[in-house]
């Protein structure tokens, strides 16, 4: 059963989520919550969902970028975004390290800001130290869109939403994005909006 996703304005999205203990992670309640978050993410659909987005201030997020979500993207757009399928997995108590290098800028959205999108600069490459759904330590090194998803979800665990990082003048409804901006090079959009 899909859970209700909270929208911006709910204080839980602005709180620092608390870490989970090893015992909590393997508990039947937490395993059930992970399963419900997976169903909620798929139903939305979305490529990531952090626990604060379903009203739980816990350092837990689920991620999955399915190939079927890429059907509307041209090969050039996939390549530019460095976007590839990512298998379902859980990150718990993550520590994010931004690796030096490029800061690609793309439109991104959030299930807690339905119908909106904006250009957000993100580090191209990150390293994340976290626990998995069994409480086992994991080190993830990611580039491109997967790195963007990780940064977006881990931001949620610290009370940060993409509007805190976006080019504010690029904020758009999805409808206007599709009508005016989709498919245009991001650099030219920023140039036009911020001159």
Footprint of Zn ion (CB under 5 A): 110
Q: Please give the Cα distance from 56 to 13 (Å, whole number).
A: 9
What SS3 state is found at 177?
helix
Residue nearest to Zn ion (CB): 110
Rg (CA), the chain: 16
Q: Which residues pair with 139 in a beta bridge?
A: 129
User: Pick the catalytic residue: 153, 175, 192, 194?
Assistant: 153
CA–chain centroid gap for 5, Å, is 14
Q: Using the minimum distance from each CB to Zn ion, give the nearer residue, 20 or 110.
A: 110
Q: Using the minimum distance from each CB to Zn ion, give the nearer residue, 52 or 104.
A: 52
Minimum CB separation of residue 134 from Zn ion in Å reads: 25
Minimum CB separation of residue 158 from Zn ion in Å reads: 12
Minimum CB separation of residue 46 from Zn ion in Å reads: 8
CA–chain centroid gap for 12, Å, is 17
Other CB atoms within 10 Å distance of the CB of residue 67 = 9
Catalytic status, residue 80: no
Q: Using the minimum distance from each CB to Zn ion, give the nearer residue, 24 or 81.
A: 81
Give the torsion sign (CA, 36, 37, 38, 44).
positive
Q: Using the minimum distance from each CB to Zn ion, give the nearer residue, 8 or 79.
A: 8
Q: Please give the Cα distance from 56 to 190 (Å, whole number).
A: 35
- Active site members: 153
């Amino acid at each position: 059963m899909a859970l209700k996703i909270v929208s911006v304005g709910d204080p839980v999205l602005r709180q620092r989520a608390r870490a989970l203990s090893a015992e909590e992670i393997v508990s039947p309640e937490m395993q059930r919550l992970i399963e419900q978050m997976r169903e909620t993410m798929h139903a939305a659909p979305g490529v990531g969902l952090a626990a604060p987005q379903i009203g739980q201030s816990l350092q837990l997020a689920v991620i999955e970028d399915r190939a079927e979500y890429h059907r509307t993207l041209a090969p050039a757009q996939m390549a530019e975004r460095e976007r590839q399928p990512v298998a379902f997995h859980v990150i718990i108590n993550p520590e994010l390290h931004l690796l030096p290098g490029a800061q690609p800028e793309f439109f991104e959205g959030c299930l807690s800001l339905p119908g909106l999108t904006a250009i957000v600069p993100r580090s191209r490459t990150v390293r994340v130290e976290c626990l998995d759904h069994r409480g086992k330590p994991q080190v993830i090194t990611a580039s491109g869109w997967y790195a963007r998803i990780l940064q977006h979800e881990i931001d949620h665990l610290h009370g940060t939403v993409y509007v805190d990082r976006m080019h504010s003048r690029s904020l758009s409804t999805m409808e206007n994005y599709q009508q005016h901006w989709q498919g245009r090079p991001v650099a030219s959009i920023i140039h036009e909006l911020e001159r």
